[in-house]
Amino acid sequence: MAEVGDDSVALAAALAAGDRRALARAITLVESERAEDGSLSEALLAAVLPRTGRSLRLGVSGPPGAGKSTLIDALGRHAIAHGERVAVLAIDPSSPIGGGSILGDKTRMSRLAAEPASFVRPSPSRGALGGVGRRTHESLLLCEAAGYSVVIVETLGTGQGDHAVWDNVDCLLLVLIAGAGDELQGMKRGVLELADLVVVNKADGENRAAAEQAASELTAALGLAPRARSAMGERGVGTVSAREESGIAPLWSAIEAHVARARASGELERRRAEGEVRALDAEVERTLRERLGAPELVAERRRLGALVLEKKLTPREAARKLIERLG
């Protein structure tokens, strides 16, 4: 255990010094599914916790093709130009067959990744739900411990079930494009209801008028929802062009203003507290699933399942007996 403690202290010290390679190693460690890495990652997170919680946490979601990565590239460089240090956690979908991930978002943020004050980390989702990876919460804490004043989480972009990213950020930005009616319909019961700010991207060239019309229609639609109205304020849904980098400064100001209002009202503290509790719940569920995957419990589950099929046990009784085996 002393060796684990020594390793975690050394890695925590390197993080505190702003070592980007140490941050990359730390995220790899907490993402590891190897049992032998568990104790070290827990010790590391415990060591860095006092240095966390000071960053502006921004989530960016939207349908595929909306230009999220290009927008983050522009937003991140704008923030750096104004004295911030920016970390990006870009979540990529994992293959359901091989489990691998393309991890291509970093190539679309090449200018931001080249900035000394930035850190861009693509991570596979590994089947996690909610638009983020299994260890996004811990990775976010590590970025804060490394001194990044802004941490941006780019979701999978499916538009469904982005509740998990909302739990992890102070402001959730939804990025849309003109003509995305089908995508918007599919997102209606998901991230659209959670978004704190909404922008229509690709407002440039021949698409500018369509983007402005889409923003006007969205402003009217979101005005019907009290939450959306309070989140958008008087500004409504804006337009940006990540490619031309127009509208970036007003968007960044809107993000900062939203977080400032949330902090002043106490909503930011409540939101983060609720996120921590949900992170605990998710960890409990994950731990239980892992323990239920032990060979002896898999065999017991099959035995109890057979008794349920034979109508010798009810599902409730079988579940209680299985949980009792966990000890």
Average pLDDT across the chain, whole number? 84
Collapsed DSSP state (helix, strand, coil) of residue 213: helix
The token pair that represents 31 in the structure block: 């993402």
How large a percentage of the chain has pLDDT more than 70? 79
Window from 37-41, 50-54, 159-163, 296-300 with minimum mean pLDDT: 159-163
pLDDT at position 211: 93
pLDDT at position 282: 84
By the 8 A CB rule, do 176 and 184 touch? Answer: yes
308-324 per-position pLDDT tens digit: 999 999 999 999 999 89
By the 8 A CB rule, do 200 and 179 touch? Answer: no
213-228 per-position pLDDT tens digit: 988 888 877 765 555 4
Nearest to 15, CA basis, from 153, 147, 152: 147
pLDDT at position 124: 67
Distance of CA 42 to the CA centre of its chain: 20
pLDDT at position 181: 58
By the 8 A CB rule, do 92 and 122 touch? Answer: yes
Q: What whole-number distance in Å separates Cα of residue 199 and Cα of residue 186?
A: 17
Q: What whole-number distance in Å separates Cα of residue 125 and Cα of residue 90?
A: 10
pLDDT value at 153 more than 70: yes
Q: What whole-number distance in Å separates Cα of residue 243 and Cα of residue 258?
A: 24
pTM for this model (two decimals): 0.85
By the 8 A CB rule, do 40 and 8 touch? Answer: yes
Backbone angles phi, psi at 281, to 5 degrees: -60, -40
pLDDT confidence of 21, banded at 50, 70, 90?
very high
pLDDT at position 131: 45
Rg (alpha carbons) of the chain, rounded to whole number: 22
Greater confidence, 160 or 306?
306
What is the location of CATH 1.20.5.170 in the chain?
Answer: 1-51
Greater confidence, 28 or 108?
28
85-136 per-position pLDDT tens digit: 999 999 875 443 444 444 555 677 999 999 999 999 987 655 444 445 678 8
How large a percentage of the chain has pLDDT more than 90? 56
Please give the CATH architecture assigned to the domain spanning 52-265.
3-Layer(aba) Sandwich (3.40)
By the 8 A CB rule, do 133 and 123 touch? Answer: yes
Residue at 307: amino acid letter: L
Nearest to 54, CA basis, from 166, 141, 116: 141
Nearest to 87, CA basis, from 64, 66, 62, 116: 116
The token pair that represents 16 in the structure block: 């505190």
pLDDT at position 82: 97
Q: What whole-number distance in Å separates Cα of residue 85 and Cα of residue 56?
A: 10
pLDDT value at 300 more than 60: yes
pLDDT at position 134: 75
Residue with tokens 């337009």: 239
pLDDT at position 294: 87
What is the location of CATH 3.40.50.300 in the chain?
Answer: 52-265
pLDDT at position 160: 47
pLDDT value at 154 more than 70: yes
By the 8 A CB rule, do 218 and 178 touch? Answer: no
For the domain bounded by 1-51, which CATH number is listed? 1.20.5.170
Transcribe 101-166 into DSSP letters.
----GGGGGHHHHTSTTEEEEEEE-TT-SSSS-TTHHHHHHHHHHTT-SEEEEE--S--S-THHHH
User: 59 pairs with which residues across the strands?
Assistant: 153, 172
pLDDT value at 195 more than 70: yes
In terms of DSSP H, where are the helices of 233-314?
Answer: 248-265, 267-292, 295-309
62-82 per-position pLDDT tens digit: 888 899 999 999 999 999 999
Greater confidence, 285 or 26?
26
Q: Are strands 118-124 and 150-154 parallel, antiparallel or unpaired?
A: unpaired
Q: What whole-number distance in Å separates Cα of residue 62 and Cα of residue 41?
A: 31
Q: Are strands 118-124 and 86-92 parallel, antiparallel or unpaired?
A: parallel
Number of Cβ within 10 Å of residue 131's Cβ equals 28
Q: What whole-number distance in Å separates Cα of residue 145 and Cα of residue 148?
A: 7
